[in-house]
Amino acid sequence: MTHALIVIDVQNDFCPGGALAVPEGDLIVPGINKLMADADAVVLTQDWHPKGHSSFASSHNGQGPYEVIDMPYGPQVLWPDHCIQGSGGAAFHADLDVNRANMIVRKGYRAGIDSYSAFFENDRETPTGLEGYLRTRGITRLTMAGLATDFCVNFSAVDAAKLGFEVNVRMDLCRAIDLDGSLAAAQAGMVKAGVVLTV
């Protein structure tokens, strides 16, 4: 019982028709559901922003989506308003088998800081609690899938590898936003951190 599947942000706002749609984001759902049967534990992460979150472009006068600003914790991409707490956009995709989840990790719920990683907020210090959960379950191996490859999947995978977990990212069950080469940079960074990329 040492293997967990970490499903990253398979939510309506990241799927076609959503506020921050990742191309073909919905196409990965059936494959993720199949992976759940082989995992000893299943964890879902859920972007969960309050209205007016500091990562929203609408919260900054004169700034547009996908611009980068400096925040106290470092550079921050500004996003369209998305995954607002309790909204339909924040809900998991209807076809995702949420009943298989042992745990749901909500992230990005503090108004002043974004949280890409399933393990830490974007200050790289504030933990989500996921590491402790996995340790107490005796989990050592992680498979990751979800949205988006170059942001939340990437940050989660790199953090997990740095924490000493054995990490595999199923690239066929992820989709990317790919801002100005962010996908290639994310893939290189994951490999450098020791993450195994498979299809």
Catalytic residues: 9, 107, 152
The set of residues, in sequence order, having a beta carbon less than 8 Å from that of 180 and lying 6+ positions away, is none
The residue among 66, 54, 85, 69 whose CA lies nearest residue 20 is 66
What's the whole-number mean pLDDT along residues 29-52? 97
- With 90 as the cut, is the pLDDT of residue 92 above it? yes
What's the whole-number mean pLDDT along residues 125-145? 97
Cα–Cα distance, 87 to 81 (Å, whole number): 11
Q: In this predicted model, what pLDDT tens digit does every residue of 149-190 receive, in sequence order?
A: 999 999 999 999 999 999 999 999 999 999 889 999 999 999
For the chain, the average pLDDT equals 97
- With 90 as the cut, is the pLDDT of residue 1 above it? no
- With 90 as the cut, is the pLDDT of residue 117 above it? yes
What's the whole-number mean pLDDT along residues 103-110? 97
Considering the chain, what percentage of its residues have pLDDT values greater than 90?
Answer: 98
The set of residues, in sequence order, having a beta carbon less than 8 Å from that of 113 and lying 6+ positions away, is 54, 71, 73, 121, 122, 123, 126
Spell out a b/e string for 13-46, using b for 16 or more CB atoms within 10 Å of the CB, else e. Answer: bbbeebbbbbeebbebbeebbebbeebebbbbbb
The answer, yes or no, to whether the previous bond of 91 is cis (omega within 30 of 0) is no
DSSP state, residue 157 = H
- Helix or strand or coil: residue 58? helix
- With 90 as the cut, is the pLDDT of residue 199 above it? no
The secondary element (H helix, E strand) that includes residue 68 is strand 68-71
- With 90 as the cut, is the pLDDT of residue 74 above it? yes
Q: In this predicted model, what pLDDT tens digit does every residue of 184-195 receive, in sequence order?
A: 999 999 999 999
Considering the chain, what percentage of its residues have pLDDT values greater than 70?
Answer: 100
What's the whole-number mean pLDDT along residues 43-63? 97
Q: Quote the pTM value.
A: 0.96
| pLDDT score for 105 | 98
